[in-house]
Structure 1
Amino acid sequence: MDSLTKKTFEVSRSLTYTYFHHPPAQPENPTVLCIHGFPDEAAEWADLATTHLIPAGYGVIAVDCLGYAGTSKPLDPAMYAFEHMTKDLTEILDNEKLQKVVSLGHDWGCAFAQRFYNYYPDRVLGLVMVNVAYTAPSDQPFSLDAANEMTKKIFGYATLPYWYLLSSEDGYKLLDEHLESCFTALHGPPESWLDTVCKYDGLKDFLIAEKKQETEPYATEEMKNAFITRFKRDGFAGPTCWYKAMVGGHQNFEAKKVKAIIVEVPSLYVGFDNDKVCRPEAIAMAMKNGLLPKLTNVKLEGGHWGLHANADKFGKTVVDWLKQGL
């Protein structure tokens, strides 16, 4: 991220955000707001930004999300409600005098990017969803049990059993105590997720036993060491609040407050064929319901971190869509 300018900014609710910014080559070129997921940081977007977006003339803002890296890490899950975090983003954009951006996210960052459009459609030129299919805001309370039962019926296995650990009161402590094990569980072969994150107590048992496994080629020793160093310093208490906020009902009833449910701007969905949690087939529901009338649907090879495993193809997909879709 050396080619981007690192900045800090205090939003109106007295939280400090760290973000990285590079202006577009021309004022009329759009800026892409890049939002990382669990358990990453703004640096997740280093390749996309420096190899693809910036050379193509686009601006970039990559944010350390709440709970991560250089940004504040409150421990109250209510602080992580999308209603509040999306407002934080508008204040960051205002600080950079940016009225509209392309909203792009991966994993939890993808849900965040979607909600940024839902709450502030007038600030979004286009929506890019990586891995996580579009889900409209709902008035119905979220039920983790129901979500696992539904995905089991659809896919033959539950996709969210690991949420029980991550949303539990002290689950973060187990992650903090077994950082190398955690890294190898998350970045192992995509098929291994069926025995860890997609299996009831699978991730918990993997960590307690201090198991380790071979990781995918993109997950280098340098990446692992950076992960361990970061979480020895910061811990998982903040990042797991994203799960606690959802399971604890802090994202409920958001449909009453959002301004847009149908995504009227151009949208891009990039799914990966071997992602065991965020199944690319899931985008079909939003398409069927007419929620994405301007969607470009792309499926690439890879697992949950296919944006790293298949980085060049991913980056070219995003840039090609920006050139054609906006």
Structure 2
Amino acid sequence: MLNDTSVPEFILLGFSEFQEFRFLLFTTFLTIYLFTLLGNGLIIAISNLDVSLQIPMYFFLSNFSLLEMCYTSVTVPQLLGDFLTGTHAISFQTCITQMYFFFFFGTTEFLLLATMAYDRYLAICHPLQYPMLMDSRTCACLALSCWLSGFLTPFLPTAFISQLPYNSSNQINHFFCDTSPLIKLSTGNTFMADMMVFLVSAVVVLTSFLLTVTSYVLIVSTICRIPSASGRLKAFSTCASHLTVVTIFYGTVIFMYLCPRSGQASDMDKVVSVLYAVVTPMLNPIVYTLRNKDVKIALKKVVNQVKNTFLRQRRDVVAIPVLS
């Protein structure tokens, strides 16, 4: 559903005020983007290659890493292209599509974080029933539900925004097509679009946040009842990495929604959005490799396997007799 707008394309202003530093910014964002893809891709590979990590916790982590790769790929390639070409132009259809997928992956991320918190709750609070409650079929259904719900949720907000008239300014003071700057740019009545975005966002964020907080309240309550200090530390370490990611993710989102909508709101939104959409996906593999002992052990095993395979192939090549 696309509006017959007189604006054929939008201009993403992005960081045009730092035009003299565009090559430095290009290098910085490219480095972050590549690290995000490689780091999250490595987590997916390790979780599937190491048998000891083929458990529900790392199944959800693999989904989360794939989601982070998709999430950052919605915005960063467009931003890198703008830095190189300097055009900053994006068609109306592409802009609406980018907004939809950003909403899609963001919603899925909220739901998946809540699901991962529920998984930790079952593992710590109901350890004996955990293998039965969280079997492979249940894991697949939960993950599929997160992706499907995230896919369906943006339809109504996107439909309302795409039907707004855009026949005045076509300059978006952002580095990607987000809901707020697009609605602000419209010359029509934006009440329904504003309300739809607000209601959908509130339901998704508050529901996932309450589920996550409830899970961790029950987890902390159970951990506090463990008699030994070593037992409490071991139980908490199983969810420390996920709790760190939750804190970073929700912290940036809450900060984004609490920003004052003054004349400089768009500039502040761009800065916070970099943390939310670019930096946070990069932190996921760092948190799970530095704070998770199982992942570090599995990573060493995979590296040693690759190293031994390479050395063995090299010895076989050297051992091949040379025909005269």
User: TM-score, normalised to structure 1's length?
Assistant: 0.26
Q: Select the structure that is richer in strand.
A: 1
* Larger relative contact order (CA 8 Å, sep ≥ 6): 2
- The structure number with the bigger radius of gyration is 2
Q: Select the structure that is richer in helix.
A: 2
